[in-house]
Chains A and B, each alone.
Chain A
Amino acid sequence: MVGSITLEQNATAAASCMAAINDRFDGSGIETSVPSHSNDKKYAFVRIVCPPQHWIALSKWMKYDLGVNYCSMVTGTHFPEGSPERGWEVVYHFLRQPVQDQKPNTCTVHNVEALSGMDVPMEFEVLIPLPQGDSPTVPSIQSIWVGADWNEKETWDLVGIKFEGHVNMHRVLNPNDSPEGFHPLQKQHKLRYHDHNEMYDDPQGFMRKPADEGRIK
C-alpha cells in the first residue's frame, strides 16, 4: 500500500510555506492565507493575493526558493460589475511536486509517510486583481515556467488578459482570423439561445419561449 499525504504533513507544509512568503515579502502588499478545501478530505493549500507589480519577483522566488516547479493552470475572470480595483482577476494554480531527473535504470519510489520539508506536495493559488478598464495587463511568467506558455496563450485568447513580455502570443482555441479584441469569455458576450439574447437570468429559457406560455411545467 502506498499511503498518502496526511493532514498533518499537509498542514505543516502549508504553514511553513506561508511563513516563508510572509518573511520574504513582508510589507510589500502580498497577502497570504492557508484555507482548506471544503470537499472530502479538507486539505489545506496556500492562497496568495499579489499586486501585479510584485508578481515577477514573487514568481521567481516561488520557483527557485520554494521549489514550486509546476504551473498547472491560469484562469482569467472578467468582473464588469466588480469594484474599480477588481474589474479583472487572474488566478494561477501551482503545484510543488517532488520530481527529479533519474539516473539510468533507477527510479524514485517516494516513501509518502516520510516526506517532509520541501518534498511535501503542495498546492498554491495566486490571485492577481486588476483594475477596471479595457486592457487588463499582467507580467508574463512564460520565461519562468515553460508550462505557463500555452496557459497564458489560452487566457489571452479566451479572456483577453494581456501578458506583458509574452513571446509569440497567438490564438490557440479561437480561429486565427478572429476579429481583434474578440475574447469570448468576457462578460459582454452573451450566450444566444433560439434568437433570444441571453440566458443568464433564465437558463432553461422557460420565460422566453412563446410556445411554452401558459403550460404547466
Chain B
Amino acid sequence: MAQMWITMGPQHPMTHGLWTLRVKVDGETVVDTEAELGYIHRGVEKICEARDFTQITPYCDRLCYVSAMTWANSYIYAAEDLLEADVPARAEYIRLISAEIQRLASHLMWLGAFGPDIGNLTLMTWCMRDREMFLDLLQELGGSRMHYNYPRIGGVKRDMPIGFADRVIAKTKLFEKRLDEYEMMLDESTIWLVRLQGVGYANAESMVDAGVSGPNVRAAGVNYDVRWAHPYSVYDEIDWEPSVEKPTSVKGADCYDRYRVRMEEMRQSCRMVLDALNKIPGGKNTNYANGDEMIYTKAPTRAPEGATGFSNYECTRGASQFYVQGGGEGRGKNPYRVSIRSPMFITIPYVAKTMIGYKIADIPAIMGSFDPCIGETDR
C-alpha cells in the first residue's frame, strides 16, 4: 500500500492545544512524523524587553495557563539571581506550598484531559471536580482563578489568609483518599491498561540526550529531580521523595509508567504541602501584613552592569529555565534580554519521533502521556 502524509491538527483533540502533527503512514502504521509549532507564538521574550522586572511576572503566568504559579516562580528566581535579592524564609515556604498546590491542579488537568484521549470520560469530570478545590486555594492567595501574579521579587504578594492552612489540610487529605479512588477506577480497567501498557516506549538516556526532563524521565527509572539536584526554595527542609517508576522493558518507560509517575507525584505534593505547613516559620495560622519583613524584602529594581540571572526550576512538565540579561544603567529597570526555555518545546519533537512504529490509534495515548502544553511551547 502506498505511504501517505496525513495532518493531525492544528484542531485535533490529540494536540491538547494548537499545533500540527504531520504523520506519514503505511496502512495504519506510523512510519515518519513531523511536528509543526508556533500557532500561538506571542513574542513574550520581545515584550519582556520593554517591561520592568516586576511587570514581567504576569506574562510568565500566561506562558502556561495550566501551571501559572510554577512559571511565575521560575521567572522570579532568575530575576532574584540577577538583582541579588534576599527572600525571607516564610516567603520561600509559601512559594513552595503554592507551587505544589499548582502542581496538583496541573496534574489533575493533565489526567482529566488524558482520560478522554483513552476513552474514559468519567475521569474528566472527576478531575475537574478535584482541581476546583485547588484552584479555590490558589484564588485565596492570588485573587484570581488561573493567573495569579503572586510571587514578587524578594517575597510574595501577601501572606496566607487566616484559615487557609486548615482548608489546605482538609482538601489535601480528602484528595489523598480521592487518589485511591482514581487508582481503583483506572488500574483495574482493562481498556486503560491495554491502551497504555506496551505503548510509547522511551528510555532514559535517549530522553536526556533529547532534552526531555521532569516526570517523563523519572518514569524511565531514575529519580533525577531539579528539586534536589539544583536546590532552590526550601525543598531540602521538607519531607518528600522524588517519584520514580520501574519500567518493565529494556525499551524504557511506556505510557502506563508515565501515568503512574504522575499519580505518585501528586501524592508527594500532598505530603510536601502538609509538611511545609507544619514547618513554616511564623506559624501556619498567622497572617502578616502586606510587605511585612517576614514575607517580603525590598529588592533592587535595577540590574548591576553585566549581570545575568539564571533559574532552573522543576515545573510540572519538566525543567523550565529562564536566562535574564540585565543591561546596566542604560536599560533602567528593564532587562536587555529574557530567554525562556520551555520543557515542552523540546519534548514535543522528541515525542513525535517516538511514535514511529506504532499505530495511528496509539498517537493520542503517547502524546497525552507526555503532558503537552502549547502555551509554554510557543511562548
Partners in one complex: yes
Closest B residue to A103 by beta carbon equals B250
* Interface 9-mer from B4-12, B206-214, B358-366: B206-214
Mask: chain B, 233-267; 1 = CB below 8 Å from A; 0 = not: 10110111110111111101000000000000000
Known: A4-B228, A37-B81, A75-B323. A109 touches B223 (CB 8 A): yes
Contact of A4 (CB < 8 Å), options: B41, B51, B236: B236
CB atoms of A77 and B336 under 8 A apart: yes
Contacts of A1 in B (CB 8 A): 238-241
A102 touches B204 (CB 8 A): yes
| Interface residue from B232, B250, B346 paired with A104 (Cβ < 8 Å) | B250
A4, A38, A101, A199 — most chain B CB neighbours (10 Å): A101
Q: Taking each of B81, B222, B245, B350, which has the highest tally of chain A beta carbons within 10 Å of its own beta carbon? A: B222
Pairwise interchain contact B37-A172, C-beta atoms closer than 8 A: yes
Is B222 a contact partner of A102 (Cβ separation < 8 A)?
Answer: yes
**Given known contacts A40-B92, A102-B222, A125-B310, is B38 in contact with A147 (CB within 8 Å)?**
no
CB distance from B343 to the nearest CB of A (A): 9
How extensive is the interface on chain A, given as a class?
35 or more
B334 and A71: CB pair below 8 A? no
Residue B349 at the chain A interface, CB threshold 8 Å: yes
Do A5 and B231 form a contact, CB below 8 Å, given A72-B319, A101-B252, A191-B46? yes
A104 to B41, CA, bound (A): 40
Given contacts A121-B229, A147-B346, A171-B38, contact A101 B204 (CB under 8 A): yes
Chain B residues with Cβ below 8 Å from A121 are: 224, 229-230
| Contact across chains for A99 and B224 when beta carbons are under 8 A apart | yes
A contact residues around B337 at 8 Å (CB) = 75, 77, 185
If A40-B80, A99-B204, A103-B250 touch, does A4 touch B50 (CB 8 Å cutoff)? Answer: no
Give the contacting residue for B80; candidates A39, A45, A158; CB below 8 A: A39
Give chain B's interface residue range (CB within 8 Å of chain A): 35 or more
The reply to whether the CB of A66 lies closer than 8 angstroms to some CB of chain B is: no
Q: Is the C-beta of A50 less than 8 angstroms from some C-beta in chain B? A: no
B345 at the interface (CB under 8 A from A): yes
Chain A minimum-CB-distance residue to B336: A77
Q: Are A98 and B211 in contact (CB under 8 A)?
A: no
Closest A-chain residue to B325, C-beta based? A77
Q: A105 and B246: CB pair below 8 A? A: yes
Interface string of B334-376 (1 = CB under 8 A from A): 1011010100011001100000000000000000000000000
Flag if A91 contacts B323 (CB, 8 Å): yes
Nearest-Cβ distance from residue B206 to partner chain A, whole angstroms: 8
Residue among A39, A123, A171 making CB contact with B232, cutoff 8 Å: A39
A2 touches B228 (CB 8 A): yes
Q: Which residue of B lies closest to A81 (CB)?
A: B330
With A91-B323, A173-B378 as known contacts, state yes or no: A105 contacts B248, CB within 8 Å.
Answer: yes
| A100 close to B (CB within 8 Å) | yes
Is B51 a contact partner of A203 (Cβ separation < 8 A)?
yes
Residues of A within 8 Å of B49, CB to CB, are: 191, 200
Within 8 A of B (CB), among A169-217: 171-175, 184-185, 189, 191, 193, 199-200, 203
A-B contact list, 17 entries, CB within 8 Å: A1-B239, A1-B241, A4-B229, A38-B80, A39-B81, A40-B80, A70-B211, A72-B213, A77-B337, A105-B247, A105-B248, A107-B245, A110-B222, A121-B229, A121-B230, A146-B210, A148-B211
- Supply 4 further A-B pairs (C-beta < 8 A) apart from A75-B323, A98-B222, A101-B205: A2-B223, A38-B82, A101-B220, A107-B245
Which residues of A are interface residues toward B (Cβ below 8 A)? 1-5, 37-41, 43, 45, 69-73, 75, 77, 91, 93, 95, 97-110, 112, 121, 123, 125, 145-151, 154, 158, 171-175, 184-185, 189, 191, 193, 199-200, 203
Closest 9 CB pairs of A and B: A147-B211, A102-B221, A73-B341, A121-B229, A75-B339, A107-B221, A4-B228, A39-B80, A4-B231
